């Protein structure tokens, strides 16, 4: 159910994204395309211990607990974060492979223009 693709596509200099690649990666961008989710992701990624408790995320927004939970689920399904329950609390951590894949795609835009 979650997005686990790792190897994907060459730089945009070589060729545009194929339909399936675009659909897959668009899911990740869409997950980051909501202000609340992007902030959640940034909070998770910047957690000093590498992980953040949901109990610290939820009160940081003027939104209901289920809404935050829903956003976290979408980030998980996009492959951007992982969650682990330890006792009462659930901890979220970033999945750098996914962020790296997207970063590489975006960075390859400049690579194009440099080689042109």
Partner DNA sequence: ACAGAAAATAGATAAACGTCTATACAACCT
Partner DNA sequence: AGGTTGTATAGACGTTTATCTATTTTCTGT
Q: Which residue, 27 or 88, is less far from a second copy as judged by CB?
A: 27
Contacts with DNA, 12-51, as mask; x by CB under 7 A = ------------------x--xx-xx--------------
Q: State yes or no: residue 63 binds DNA (CB under 7 A).
A: yes
Q: How far is the CB of 63 from DNA (least distance, A)?
A: 4
Tell me the number of residues near a second copy by CB under 8 A: 45
* 55 contact, one of DNA, a second copy, none, CB 5-8 Å limit per kind: DNA
Give CA–CA dist 45/52, Å, rounded. Answer: 9
Give the interface with DNA as residue ranges (CB under 7 A).
Answer: 30, 33-34, 36-37, 53-55, 58, 62-67, 69-74, 83, 85, 87-90
């Amino acid at each position: 159910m979650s997005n686990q693709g790792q190897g994907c596509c060459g730089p945009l200099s070589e060729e545009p994204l194929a339909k399936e690649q675009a659909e897959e990666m668009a899911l990740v961008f869409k997950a980051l395309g909501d202000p609340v989710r992007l902030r959640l992701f940034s909070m998770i990624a910047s957690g000093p211990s590498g992980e953040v408790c949901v109990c610290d995320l939820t009160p940081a927004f003027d939104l209901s607990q289920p809404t935050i939970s829903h956003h976290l689920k979408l980030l998980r399904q996009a492959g951007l974060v992982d969650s682990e329950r330890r006792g009462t609390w659930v901890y979220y951590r970033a999945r750098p492979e996914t962020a790296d894949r997207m970063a590489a795609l975006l960075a390859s835009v400049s690579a194009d223009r440099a080689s042109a």
